[in-house]
Amino acid sequence: MRVQPATLHPVVISQVIVNFAAQHGVSAATCLRGTRITETRLRDPNEFITRDQEIRLIENLMRTLPEIPALGFELGLQYKVATFGIWGFAVRISQNLREAFQCALRYLPLSTAYCRFAIAIDEREFALVADPTPIPPSLRTFLLQRDTATAINLVRELGLSGVDVLRLEYTGAAPGHAERIRALCGLAPIFGSPRNAIVMRRQDVEIPLPMYDAQLAGFLDNQCRSQLARRQNTGITGQVRQAVLGPLGLIASFEDVAKQLALAPRTLRRKLEEEGATYRSLIDEERKQLSAHLLTQTDMKLDVVALQTGYTDAPSFARAFRRWFDQAPGEYRTAHRP
């Protein structure tokens, strides 16, 4: 079975989740537990994370705040156009809302959306239709409500309060927190609909946006295309990372990874060399990152940290750690522990 490519996300977007959790009294360390994301990385605009890491972060939030009604919807309202960097900028300078959402969907992997989105238009209405099918069932309602709340926020921000959302539609029966959704966004959601959708007047989405710039729009479209290509974890290096961070673990041998990727070891080695990487360097990098996180964010004993990072004993781990950081693990933990 081949590992499927995934799109990397800027880790700073996840800061929205951590800030939101803090508003409810949840610490960053609790949110980041098990994600291999450090608080230092969280603030680095040049750092990227996988969707698996982002999902773990979301699961931590859900487990910590199960009593908050419409938690996903409330989180979605925290995202602004500026949150999304160049994707948000490209959307903002579109000619009108219709073109803004066409641009948004064209480069949707640059956002945080987990739903698939499509546009439905008739003579009177324009609808953004969300399909949560790809999302694991345990996260489906949470992420559907988060993604639709984010879309509502973007509509209102881009339309400068001149565009009304007519309806918010969801499939399925009304949950107990339906009234909470109405209180949060001012719309009473309609349940039992044949689709999940945000509906607007067609004439409203044709209203010109004040920041439209045709030349800049073309430039940003090219930038989004280029950035999407860079973030697609399609290279063999990305596939190896996904294999060792996912099903195989950091203890996996080179042969194990080659088998997982359905490649001969010689072919895998050649492909890595073509991308300027080696299996040893990739494993080293991931072990280094994970060990720093476990030492500073958990109370694990050194022998447990060693096992978690793929070493058979604490002395082997300590030697590698000193090579990475020029410090013993205990010294590093003392110096960097929050």
Q: What are the residue boundaries of the structural domains of the chain, listed by start?
A: 69-230, 236-336
> How much is the mean pLDDT over the chain?
87
pLDDT of 60 > 50? The answer is yes
Task: Give the model confidence (pLDDT) of 163-176 as tens digits.
Answer: 889 999 999 999 99
Task: Give the model confidence (pLDDT) of 242-276 as tens digits.
Answer: 778 766 778 889 999 999 888 899 999 988 887 77
> What kind and span of H or E run contains 272?
helix 265-274
What is the distance between the alpha carbons of residues 313 and 327, in angstroms, rounded to a whole number? 18
- Check residue 33 and report its DSSP letter: T
pTM attached to this predicted model:
0.69
At 338 the pLDDT is 57
Cβ pair 196, 171 in contact under 8 A: yes
The whole-number average pLDDT for the span 52-77 is: 93
Q: Token pair of 145, please? A: 């409500």
Top-confidence residue, 274 or 60:
60
pLDDT of 48 > 90? The answer is no
At 5 the pLDDT is 43
pLDDT band at 3; cut points 50, 70, 90: very low
pLDDT of 304 > 80? The answer is yes
pLDDT of 51 > 50? The answer is yes
At 233 the pLDDT is 53
The whole-number average pLDDT for the span 298-320 is: 88
pLDDT of 6 > 60? The answer is no
At 95 the pLDDT is 92
pLDDT band at 46; cut points 50, 70, 90: low
pLDDT of 311 > 60? The answer is yes
Q: Token pair 């479209």 is at which residue?
A: 221
At 161 the pLDDT is 58
Cβ pair 13, 58 in contact under 8 A: no
At 30 the pLDDT is 93
The whole-number average pLDDT for the span 79-94 is: 91
Chain centroid to Cα 261, Å, comes to 24
Give domain 236-336's CATH architecture: Orthogonal Bundle (1.10)
57-71, 85-99, 149-163, 177-191: which range is least confident on average?
A: 149-163
Task: Give the model confidence (pLDDT) of 226-237 as tens digits.
Answer: 777 666 655 788
- Specify burial of residue 276 (Cβ count, 10 A radius: 0-12, 13-18, 19+): exposed
The whole-number average pLDDT for the span 186-197 is: 95
pLDDT of 328 > 50? The answer is yes
